A and B are shown apart, each in its own frame.
Chain A
Amino acid sequence: MIDFEHHPVVAQTAMMISQMAASMMRPVAREMDEHEHEDPVAYINFMYDVMKSGAGGAAATQFTGGSRKKDQDPNAPKKPGFGNVLGAVSIEMMSWGDAGIYLATPVAGLGGAAVAAAGTEEQKERFLKRFSEGEPKWGAMAITEPGCGSDSAAITATARRDGDDYVLDGVKIFVTSGKRAIKDSNGFVVVWATVDKSAGRAGIKSFVVEAGTPGMTLLGLEKKHGIRCSDTAQIVFENCRVPKENLLGSPEVDLNKGFKGVMATFDATRPAVAASAIGIGRAALEFVKEELDKAGVKLRYGINPHKLTARERDVMDMEANLKAAWLLTLKAAWMSDNKKHNNLEASICKAKAGLAVTQLTQKAVELMGPLGYSRDILLEKWMRDAKINDIFEGTQQINMLIIARRILGYGRDQLK
């Protein structure tokens, strides 16, 4: 039955996170933006405690890669889950609080998602358990290189087999939470590297490199347009040796699948990015509507659209686009929860949300005039924060390409 009512657990968690976002994220949002590369210490410690104790519920499990499963009776009848919907709702709420701070949450993150998706039980235990004990930790994913971004099959970092180890060499950039993962905590980075350049994308494998591994060096941090609270690291690997047991997935170079398993991670992470965009969009839209309301401007839903003012039209456009993007995101997440293949829908929601929220926040600054342009309020920051969602986890254009291939039934050789 088509239904837009959240499961009580989702609704309750959303309420909790919304309070946390208002009390712990919003108040420090500007400060963290103005002081790039500093830590939101209170937030980090609070969130880590919440998630460690399990009080964060399934939301926390979601971010740390789902280690909760082992407590469940494997013979219990399978109920449709809601973990991905819960994840989307949680991320949306946190990003409403602050998208940069949300990205600084001490979680296994994208690296954890890769371990959860491709790792063995032994690997999950070895790499993910740390997120439920001790001090705050982060996981990260290193794919992008100075010479390749969206074309991740063009990766030049190498992994050479040497006895029981792999030896990694290469430079990685744009590693989200890279510094916190390898320098500030006992976390790890999942590094994409090729074991056989001649095999093309099939030769690309991912390796878990733990903090403190010799040969892995933090080169520096990017200075960014927005999401400044999130550290974006450059990491160099020189003769960096990891045990062969740190390779995720099959060590064989299988020309038939190889890359697909790695790319499947995006089906879960793209809706998450869309959700984050939407949280920022909602913050901006709410702000604009509140200001209009204070100024006595009413939005006249129901009248002939020709009679609306340009300003009313703009706000209603923002509202409709944001809602459409959100519903598409929840649809992609719902599909994941119900074990439906959502590669198309993941790209649809990401492409829609990235663009819609970029445009929404840019329009919001315009609508508020000098008020919107001032750093005294958060609107201009939301505009800067929003833009990243149109870029990372697959640019809008890459996602449109994926949608086009799916809809037209073309492979990558037929539609480049």
Chain B
Amino acid sequence: MYSFEPTEEQQSIIDTVRDFAKTEMRPKSMEADEKDALPEGFLQKSWDLGLAVAAIPEAYGGSGIERSAITGALLAEELGYGDVAMGIATLVPALVAYPIVDYGTEEQKKKYLPLFTGSSFPKATAALVEPSMDFDATDLTTTARKRGSSYVISGKKCLVPLGSSAELFLVFAREGGAGFENVQAFIVPRGAKGLTVGEKEKNMGVKALDTVRLTLEDVEVPADARLGGDKGIDFEKIMSFSRIALSALAVGVSRAALDHSVTYAKERTAFGEAIGQRQAVAFMIADMALEVDATRVLVWEAAWHLDKGEKGTQETYLTKMYSDKIALKVTDNAVQVMGGHGYIRENPVEGWLRHARGFTTFDGMALV
């Protein structure tokens, strides 16, 4: 029956992360952005929350909570509200762990999942985005070719989150022509011959998040590095879960911008009254509020399709396009509401605009 009410368990996750955002993310977010680095010890603290990969089954040492895109969306929104760079960093373990849970062979699960059930932040990440304006997840330029009993991977990747310190990369590559069905994932260790991990990228936003480029020159990996063995992965579905995570992060940062605008518009006076008392400003804020709500229900509904076991491509794709646009619009409005002050880095809103601009690019950089 129709309902817009999270379960008690989900509500407690929301409360936990909201509290974490308030104490560990928000107060440190602007400094982290200036320093191009996550706060000292942040990754471990985020790992201690125990939420990023909580759905690893108990049989493999995980917490075994029910895997749910809706729960993931609720989690990601709160993380995005705290800080997008830290939010993506928090979710990086899921980029590798969940595809292994969903598609890994028994051997792969036994070999790799213990990395994600220990007490320290796992050093593993995924590489999907490629440094080209024509980047298309359904038509990757990174290829994997069979050679004897091995695979040879060639291509370039960028925006690989937490790549500097990763020991393991899940590299997405194309095996045949264009299309979701020809994309497979390969587990590539850092020391693999032909793999070059580049310097930390210098991005417009999410500066605190370490992202790197990878160059793969005929990187040879054994056949069992192919995730899921002969069966492979359902990349279309992985992309759907990724879109939910990113859209929910976008809702989070949009909500942050809205809250900030409401507070500021009531404090700042001009011509003898608060600027929020003028329709020109008030209507911008009303529109922001409306669209944050609209995006959130789109995310929930699309996530609900995934939780029913559907591929959800159409739903998550429409949602992602919508949330990309709204995040940009709402954070831009938040800068506009503050006028010149919004442009100054002493206030957080310009940073949110820089983060929000990234969502059209952030394919496959988060997963729930």
Task: Give the residues in chain B near A401, CB-CB below 8 Å.
Answer: 279, 282-283, 286
Task: Give the residues in chain B near A4, CB-CB below 8 Å.
Answer: 2, 300-301, 304
The reply to whether A404 and B317 contact each other, CB–CB distance below 8 Å, is: no
A302-B317, A304-B136, A324-B298 known; A1 and B2 CB under 8 Å? no
CB distance from B122 to the nearest CB of A (A): 29
Task: Give the residues in chain A near B7, CB-CB below 8 Å.
Answer: 1-2
Interface check B124, CB cutoff 8 A:
no
A1-B7, A2-B304, A404-B286 known; A327 and B297 CB under 8 Å? yes
Q: How far is the CA of A404 from the CA of B282 in the complex (A)?
A: 6
The reply to whether A408 and B276 contact each other, CB–CB distance below 8 Å, is: yes
A298-318: CB near B (< 8 Å → 1, else 0) gives 000111111100000000110
Binds A, one of B104-112, B164-172, B288-296: B288-296
Q: How far is the CA of A328 from the CA of B2 in the complex (A)?
A: 12
Task: Give the residues in chain B near A407, CB-CB below 8 Å.
Answer: 258, 262, 285-286, 289
Task: Give the residues in chain B near A82, CB-CB below 8 Å.
Answer: 1-2
Binds A, one of B20-28, B214-222, B318-326, B342-350: B318-326
Interface check A3, CB cutoff 8 A:
yes
Q: How far is the CA of A389 from the CA of B266 in the complex (A)?
A: 32
A324-B295, A403-B290 known; A330 and B279 CB under 8 Å? no
Interface check A183, CB cutoff 8 A:
no
List residues of A (273-311) whose CB comes within 8 Å of B's CBs.
301-307
CB distance from B319 to the nearest CB of A (A): 7
Interface check A386, CB cutoff 8 A:
no
Task: Give the residues in chain B near A272, CB-CB below 8 Å.
Answer: none
Q: How far is the CA of A10 from the CA of B2 in the complex (A)?
A: 10
CB distance from B287 to the nearest CB of A (A): 7
Interface check B149, CB cutoff 8 A:
no
Task: Give the residues in chain A near B301, CB-CB below 8 Å.
Answer: 4, 323, 327
CB distance from A307 to the nearest CB of B (A): 6
The reply to whether A400 and B283 contact each other, CB–CB distance below 8 Å, is: yes
The reply to whether A403 and B276 contact each other, CB–CB distance below 8 Å, is: no
Task: Give the residues in chain B near A404, CB-CB below 8 Å.
Answer: 276, 279, 282-283, 285-286
CB distance from B229 to the nearest CB of A (A): 25
Q: How many A-B residue pairs have CB under 8 A?
A: 144
CB distance from A346 to the nearest CB of B (A): 12
Interface check B114, CB cutoff 8 A:
no
The reply to whether A305 and B283 contact each other, CB–CB distance below 8 Å, is: no
The reply to whether A415 and B276 contact each other, CB–CB distance below 8 Å, is: yes
CB distance from A274 to the nearest CB of B (A): 12
The reply to whether A302 and B286 contact each other, CB–CB distance below 8 Å, is: no
The reply to whether A414 and B2 contact each other, CB–CB distance below 8 Å, is: no
CB distance from B118 to the nearest CB of A (A): 32
A2-B6, A85-B2, A400-B283 known; A409 and B266 CB under 8 Å? yes
The reply to whether B277 and A414 contact each other, CB–CB distance below 8 Å, is: yes
- Prevailing SS type, chain A contact patch: helix
Task: Give the residues in chain B near A307, CB-CB below 8 Å.
Answer: 134, 136
Interface check A364, CB cutoff 8 A:
no
The reply to whether B133 and A306 contact each other, CB–CB distance below 8 Å, is: yes
The reply to whether B3 and A3 contact each other, CB–CB distance below 8 Å, is: yes
Task: Give the residues in chain A near B42, CB-CB below 8 Å.
Answer: none
Task: Give the residues in chain B near A304, CB-CB below 8 Å.
Answer: 134-139
Residue of B nearest to A333 (CB): B2
The reply to whether B294 and A328 contact each other, CB–CB distance below 8 Å, is: yes
Interface check B336, CB cutoff 8 A:
no
A302-B138, A304-B136, A407-B262 known; A328 and B297 CB under 8 Å? yes
Q: How far is the CA of A348 from the CA of B294 in the complex (A)?
A: 9
List residues of B (224-266) whose CB comes within 8 Å of A's CBs.
236, 239, 258, 262, 265-266
A2-B70, A307-B136, A403-B290 known; A408 and B1 CB under 8 Å? no
Residue of B nearest to A80 (CB): B1
List residues of A (1-54) whose CB comes within 8 Å of B's CBs.
1-7, 10
The reply to whether A319 and B318 contact each other, CB–CB distance below 8 Å, is: yes
Task: Give the residues in chain A near B313, CB-CB below 8 Å.
Answer: 301-302
A340-368: CB near B (< 8 Å → 1, else 0) gives 00000100100110000000000000000
Task: Give the residues in chain B near A80, CB-CB below 8 Å.
Answer: 1
Interface check A138, CB cutoff 8 A:
no
Question: Can you identify 26 A-B contacts, CB atoms within 8 angstroms?
Answer: A1-B3, A1-B6, A3-B2, A7-B1, A82-B2, A302-B239, A303-B139, A304-B135, A304-B138, A305-B321, A306-B134, A316-B317, A317-B321, A319-B318, A320-B322, A321-B322, A324-B297, A325-B294, A327-B298, A345-B293, A348-B294, A401-B282, A401-B283, A403-B289, A408-B282, A409-B266
- Extra pairs beyond A304-B135, A410-B277 (16, CB < 8 Å): A2-B10, A4-B2, A4-B301, A301-B314, A302-B138, A302-B239, A303-B136, A316-B321, A321-B322, A324-B322, A328-B290, A348-B290, A401-B286, A404-B286, A405-B282, A407-B289
